Amino acid sequence: MAIRVVMPKLSDTMTEGVVIQWHKHEGDRVESGDTLAEIETDKAVMDLEAFGSGTLRKILVPDQSTVPAGQLIAVIAAPDEDITPLLAEAGKAPQPTAQPTTPPSATPTPKPRGPTAQPPSDLATKPPAVEVKASPLARRMAEEAGLDLAMITPTGPGGRVVKEDVEQALAARKAAPAAAVPAYEARPMSQIRKTIARKMIQSKAPVPHFYVTNEIDMERALTMKAELADRQAPIKVTITDMIVRALAITLTRFSQFNASFQDDAIRYHQSIHIGVAGLIVPVIRDCQRKGLIQIAEEARLLFERAKTRRLQPDEYTGATFSLSNLGMEDVEHFSAIITPPEAAVLAIGKIAQRPVVVDGRVAVRRRMMTTISCDHRVVDGLQAAKFLQALKHELEEPTGLLLP
Amino acid sequence: MSPAELLELYRQMLLIRRFEEKCAEMYALAKIGGFCHLYIGEEAVAVGAIAALRPDDYVLSAYRDHGHCLAKGSDPKRVMAELFGKQTGLCKGKGGSMHLYDIERRFMGGYAIVGGHIALAAGVAFGLTYQQQDQVVLCFFGEGAVPTGVFHEAMNIAALWKLPVLFLCENNRYGMGTPVERASAIYDIAQTAHAYNMGHSTIDGMDVLAVRDAVGRIVTEMRLTPRPYFLEARTYRFMGHSMSDPAHGHYRTKAEIDEHKKRDPILLFGQQLISRGVAGADQLKAIDAAMQTVVQEAVDFADQSPPTAPDELLTDVLAP
Amino acid sequence: MPELLYREALNQALREEMRRDPRIFLMGEEVGFYNGAFKVSKGLLDEFGVRRVIDTPITEAGFTGVGIGAALVGLRPIIEMMTFNFAILALDQIVNNAVKIRYMSGGQLAVPIVIRGPGGPSRQLGAQHSQSLESLFCHIAGLSVVAPATPRDAKGLLKSAIRQNNPIIFIEGQELYSTKGDVPDGDYTIPIGRAEIKREGTDVTVIAWSKMLLLALRAAEQLARDGISAEVIDLRTLKPVDYDTLLGSVRKTGRAVIVEEGWEFCGLGAQIATDLYRRAFDAFDAPVERVTGYDVPMPYARHLEQQALPTAERVIEAVKKTLYR
């Protein structure tokens, strides 16, 4: 019985993925669980494993191809099995002579992995021609404006270019100075960049943001961090870990910030899952049940895997609150965009020595600016101020972070 | 009745007979399509009943309607042209065999949903009463329509509101292949009228004079005192239910048909005319020949008429 | 402009038309002495007498057939269905006689008949008394179907229906009888076959009729608070559909949501969606969304009944879907 190998759909937002490199070749014997290829989804790079055993009879897309989720990309079958119907279904011309031995020309040439190892021309090479999906209106608008649909970033479902996308493209074109030489280089976006683009546009327009900022004295937290570093040799607790723990405590009290505005109702989540933003947002789950050390340990593992893009889908989805820390990048303070359907996101600036008045005298203290961005449909300014006060208290009197 | 009137009845029955025979022939030649239900054997009912009406009285019929339409005075040419689906047909070829209409002659249509038109007949009578006119409505239907719901609704309404409509049941014994005793709980169909406190009687539908006399009496009374009446005419069809089925088969024998053919209404009436001295055999033969000519002319006319114009497809859906 | 109940507006239309033309009569169950099951014919018996306001036995097929027969000899009947649920009993008369006689007779006859009465689901009346059947009638070639939503439209459209010369199904909203609205004084008509934009907007076209218009307007109000501008069109005449108005709106908004209370499958909304696509394919930025009743018989229990029918929330959801939000 032939086994279909398809581009897996690994998250709700995933519409397409990239086959980075095949690890098996046509004709190879594969066992269930073997890694067939490396694929890049909109969140991570993952191994694509075989669901059954047999011979890898046909590879339908070469390395570095972008493929819609669900599309057939390879076939595993018995060596003598007729797989032409499957291939025909995939829209490829079935080869009447199809045998386990494949013509050499079809054998994929293994390429070194990683974008840096690729010749630059590969960047411009388009994936195998996929017809651009667009709404009829967007199609007409693009045609009238002389825009290439393929160059417009789609935000509609299934990667459909919709009216708004064309309008964006038109606005961008207007903004760009008219010149004989193109003022830009159009580069295909990575899967992750596409997802972020889509997510963020879904946030800023429909979600009414507001922002509240305050400053937190981090002296005691830093002292505690240093003491912990001495005691817990194998696990290094970071300021981020401490903020996550402080957030967990604060969110337990202010459940309205651990919420989503969805379908005209506000959902208050039972669990606190905190996403810690980078390009990918690893999610530390059930923070309300975890102590500082456990958080620190989990965070370290997640960040390591995120760095190598080895996160599993459930490790980067489902956050109920997000934290974005740009302190290490020398940022004073900033505001973040909420990731729907979350109700808020906390932005952290750098910890800097600042002059402050303590007991009537000017003193130098290490302090940190925090800004919370909130969905105004869910919470109000006063609540946000109270929330920040509570968070400030947890970090300025950090002993509580150690309590179970 | 004057000899001329009697001969006119004979002429009309023969016209229908020859017309229907020609229809069978034309159907076989595929000049006529669809369903085609012939009236052969039942001519005395239509001719006798309609002869008792005034020209401005109204007639409605079911799907076996060629005879009623011709008896009401429609031009055989235009009836045949209708069956041929021609522009010159009564309804420009949009009605067909089961839906003949000739409003000028107050022939208000043939209807092919069994029982459905009986309520319409009551409605026409209601409309006449509403406008204080003295015409009556004659509604033909087969005994197969009597068990339908709408028949009973219409009977009740007509009796309740005293509408001048004569419900004339042509009991030809078979609703397609089902004999009356297998379809109706009451064999004596006219008894149905008891339920609506309505006058009723049963007559020999093979005797054109009996039909004419009965309808004449009923209609005269109805014009003086508007109220409906139920008349059952016992008759018999000599052909199959339609052109698509044989005259006899599992449901009835050839012997049964032959027995009834001995009481062929045209045969009976011809013998009567001769025995009463109204006409000689030669004269009757001459009428027959004349009718054959009329029917042939109708076929020629239909044949030569242009097919209905294609743009007629979309006209006559809505009145302006 | 005086404010009238929907039922009063209909009553005015009947009264004024019957005064105008003696060929018009009203026939149906309980229209006379009982003053109408929903009091639409209140007082008409007193003014016009038993000759023109005629109580019938419970015989929908019978009295509908009688009405059609009367129309064949020059009268202008108005046949009241106590509710449209019972019109199913008269379907043969309507489908096979009323709308076909003109055609079958090659134009020799006309059937100017109005078949009117309340339709649409009503609170907890259960499966047989609570349903929308307009799509069923819309399917019949030669039949016009009207379903006004406001008292003003009800009066103006009923007058037009009575004055035109063909069979017409006039569905009054059973739950609209007690709604109020401004109704111009005296004689006026609203043409058959004209939709009306009941609320202007730019982002999405919401098409509705009868009671669903009120739902669509409620949804539009809520959408406005989210910054979404919905144009709400009251179809008013369901057949023939006023495509000019619909297309004009859709070409402006690029999106359409069709709200109907009846069942989804083969519902009028499906036809409208197809026609809009065919005539203005490149106007659409998103597929047409439909909000309909569920394809089940109407349950009795209130909470189940509410689930079976369209809600403002479902309309809002559909609108947002067309806006990719």
* pLDDT value at residue A121: 41
* pLDDT value at residue A179: 44
Does A125 score more than 50 pLDDT? no
Which residues of chain B fall short of a pLDDT of 70?
none
Tokens of B77: 């040419």
Distance (Å) from the C-alpha of residue C226 to the closest C-alpha of chain A? 8
Say yes or no: A253 and A370 in one domain. yes
C73, C97, C104 ranked by CB distance to B94: nearest: C104
Does A137 score more than 80 pLDDT? yes
Question: Does A touch B (3+ CB pairs < 8 Å)?
Answer: no
| A263–C324 C-beta distance less than 8 A | no
| C97–B120 C-beta distance less than 8 A | yes
The domain of A275 spans: 208-402
Residues of B in contact with C97 (CB under 8 A): 111, 116-117, 120
Does A118 score more than 80 pLDDT? no
- Over residues A62-83, the mean pLDDT reads 86
| Among A15-19, C129-133, C249-253, C264-268, the least confident range | A15-19
Position A70 confidence tier, pLDDT thresholds 50, 70, 90: confident
C-alpha A148/C-alpha A160 separation (Å) is 14
Residue A13: name the closest of A267, A379, A240, A280 by CA: A280
Alpha-helical (H) ranges within chain C are 6-20, 44-52, 60-72, 91-92, 101-104, 134-138, 151-163, 211-225, 243-253, 268-280, 302-308, 312-322
CATH of the domain at A62: 2.40.50.100
Residue A220 lies in a domain: yes
Q: SS3 for B28?
A: helix
Say yes or no: A266 and A393 in one domain. yes
From C286, which residue of chain A is nearest by alpha-carbon distance? A135
Residue B121: name the closest of C51, C115, C68 by CA: C68
Does C292 score more than 80 pLDDT? yes
Residues of A in contact with C313 (CB under 8 A): 263-264
**Residue pLDDT, tens place only, A200-226:** 777 776 788 899 999 999 999 999 888
Distance (Å) from the C-alpha of residue A71 to the closest C-alpha of chain C? 24
Say yes or no: A264 and A160 in one domain. no
Given A23, A209, A333, A376, the catalytic residue: A376
Distance (Å) from the C-alpha of residue C199 to the closest C-alpha of chain A? 23
If one compares A131 and C283, the residue with the highest pLDDT of the two is C283
C69, C104, C105 ranked by CB distance to B123: nearest: C69
Query: Residue written as tokens 């509908």?
Result: C64
C226, C284, C316 ranked by CB distance to A137: nearest: C284
C-alpha B48/C-alpha B63 separation (Å) is 19
Label each residue of chain A as H, E or C: CCEEEECCCCCCCCCEEEEEEECCCCCCEECCCCEEEEEECCCCEEEEECCCCEEEEEECCCCCEEEECCCEEEEEECCCCCCHHHHHHCCCCCCCCCCCCCCHHHCCCCCCCCHHHCCCHHHHCCCCCCCCCECHHHHHHHHHHCCCHHHCCCCCHHHCECHHHHHHHHHHHHHCCCCCCCCCCCCCCCHHHHHHHHHHHHHHCCCCEEEEEEEEECHHHHHHHHHHHHHCCCCCCCHHHHHHHHHHHHHHHCHHHCEEEECCEEEECCCCCEEEECCCCCEECCHHHCCHHHHHHHHHHHHHHHHCCCCCHHHCCCCCEEEEECHHHCCCCCCCCCCCCECEEEEEEEEEEEEEEECCEEEEEEEEEEEEEEECCCCCHHHHHHHHHHHHHHHHCHHHHHCC
* pLDDT value at residue A128: 42
Distance (Å) from the C-alpha of residue C287 to the closest C-alpha of chain A? 8
Say yes or no: A201 and A214 in one domain. no
Distance (Å) from the C-alpha of residue C316 to the closest C-alpha of chain A? 9
- Over residues A72-91, the mean pLDDT reads 82
C-alpha B317/C-alpha C10 separation (Å) is 28
Say yes or no: A215 and A340 in one domain. yes
Residue A185 lies in a domain: no
- Over residues C297-303, the mean pLDDT reads 95
| B154–C66 C-beta distance less than 8 A | yes
Does A184 score more than 50 pLDDT? yes
Say yes or no: A88 and A136 in one domain. no
Residue C179: name the closest of C153, C206, C145, C216 by CA: C153
| B154–C104 C-beta distance less than 8 A | no
| B156–C106 C-beta distance less than 8 A | no
Residue A186 lies in a domain: no
Residue of A133, A135, A204 to mutate, interface with C, max C Cβ within 10 Å: A135
pLDDT-above-70 percentage for chain B: 100
Label each residue of B156-195 as H, E or C: HHHHHCCCCEEEEEEECCEECCEEHHHCCCCCCHHHHHHH
Domains and CATH numbers, chain C: 3-182 (3.40.50.970), 196-322 (3.40.50.920)
If one compares B210 and A75, the residue with the highest pLDDT of the two is B210
Q: Which chains touch C (3 or more CB pairs under 8 A)?
A: A, B
Say yes or no: A220 and A356 in one domain. yes
* pLDDT value at residue A102: 38
* pLDDT value at residue A34: 83
Does A41 score more than 90 pLDDT? no
Instruction: Please enumerate in sequence order all residues whose Cβ is within 8 A of that of A217, keeping only pairs 6 or more positions apart, or say none.
Output: A356, A365, A366, A367, A392, A395, A396
| C108–B116 C-beta distance less than 8 A | no
- Over residues A2-30, the mean pLDDT reads 82
Position A107 confidence tier, pLDDT thresholds 50, 70, 90: very low
| C317–A138 C-beta distance less than 8 A | no
Given C16, C30, C129, C317, the catalytic residue: C129
Instruction: Please enumerate in sequence order all residues whose Cβ is within 8 A of that of C149, keeping only pairs 6 or more positions apart, or say none.
Output: C173, C176, C208, C209, C210, C211, C213, C214, C234, C236
Mean pLDDT of the residues in chain A:
81
- Assess contact for B15 and B70: CB atoms under 8 A: yes
- Over residues C181-199, the mean pLDDT reads 97
From C255, which residue of chain A is nearest by alpha-carbon distance? A137
A376 included as an active-site residue: yes
Q: Which chains touch B (3 or more CB pairs under 8 A)?
A: C
Does A116 score more than 60 pLDDT? no
Say yes or no: A197 and A319 in one domain. no
Residue A52 lies in a domain: yes
* pLDDT value at residue A101: 37
Domains and CATH numbers, chain B: 3-301 (3.40.50.970)
| C283–A138 C-beta distance less than 8 A | no
Residue A181 lies in a domain: no
pLDDT-above-90 percentage for chain C: 98
- Over residues C150-167, the mean pLDDT reads 98
**Residue pLDDT, tens place only, C22-41:** 999 999 999 999 999 999 99
If one compares A18 and C271, the residue with the highest pLDDT of the two is C271
From A201, which residue of chain C is nearest by alpha-carbon distance? C325
- Assess contact for A290 and A298: CB atoms under 8 A: yes
Position A108 confidence tier, pLDDT thresholds 50, 70, 90: very low
Residue A325 lies in a domain: yes
Position A117 confidence tier, pLDDT thresholds 50, 70, 90: very low
C129 included as an active-site residue: yes
Number of independent structural domains in chain A: 3
Say yes or no: A97 and A61 in one domain. yes
C-alpha B273/C-alpha B276 separation (Å) is 5
Residue of B150, B156, B160, B312 to mutate, interface with C, max C Cβ within 10 Å: B150
ipTM, two decimals: 0.95
Say yes or no: A282 and A384 in one domain. yes
A137, A156, A206 ranked by CB distance to C254: nearest: A137
* pLDDT value at residue A277: 85
Residue A307 lies in a domain: yes
* pLDDT value at residue B130: 98
Residue of C251, C284, C285, C317 to mutate, interface with A, max A Cβ within 10 Å: C285
| A157–C282 C-beta distance less than 8 A | no
**Residue pLDDT, tens place only, C210-250:** 999 999 999 999 999 999 999 999 999 999 999 999 999 99
Q: SS3 for C10?
A: helix
Q: Count how many pairs of residues, chain A against chain C, have C-beta atoms within 8 Å.
A: 35
Does C172 score more than 50 pLDDT? yes
Residues of C in contact with A139 (CB under 8 A): 282
Residue A176 lies in a domain: no
Position A98 confidence tier, pLDDT thresholds 50, 70, 90: very low
C-alpha C31/C-alpha C40 separation (Å) is 8
Given C17, C29, C60, C305, the catalytic residue: C60
* pLDDT value at residue A176: 61
* pLDDT value at residue A88: 77
Say yes or no: A39 and A166 in one domain. no
Residue A247: name the closest of A350, A344, A377, A368 by CA: A344
Say yes or no: A260 and A394 in one domain. yes
| C254–A163 C-beta distance less than 8 A | yes
Question: Does B touch C (3+ CB pairs < 8 Å)?
Answer: yes
